[in-house]
Amino acid sequence: MPKDAAGPIELRESMKAGKASDARAAEGDAPVFAYITRLPQPQRAIAERIDALAADALPGIRRAVKWGIAYYGVADGWCFTSGAFVGHVKLMFIRGTELEPVPPVTPVAMGRNTRGVDVATLEDLDERQITSWMSQSAALPFVNASEKR
3-class SS string, 8-68: ECCCCHHHHCCCCCCCCCEECHHHHHHHHHCCCCCHHHHHHHHHHHHHHHCCCCEEEEECC
Q: Which residue has the higher pLDDT, 29 or 111?
A: 29
Give the angle 50-89-70 at the CA atoms, nearest 5°: 60
Second-level CATH architecture of 11-143: Alpha-Beta Complex (3.90)
The pLDDT assigned to 18 comes to 52
- In terms of pTM, does the model score above 0.85? no
Q: Provide the residue ranges of all domains of the chain, joining segments of one domain with +.
A: 11-143
41-95 pLDDT per residue, tens: 999 999 999 999 999 999 899 999 998 999 999 986 899 999 999 999 999 999 9
Please name every residue paired with 38 in a beta bridge, in sequence order, or none if there are none.
Answer: none
The pLDDT assigned to 23 comes to 73
102-143 pLDDT per residue, tens: 999 998 877 789 999 999 999 999 999 999 999 999 998 765
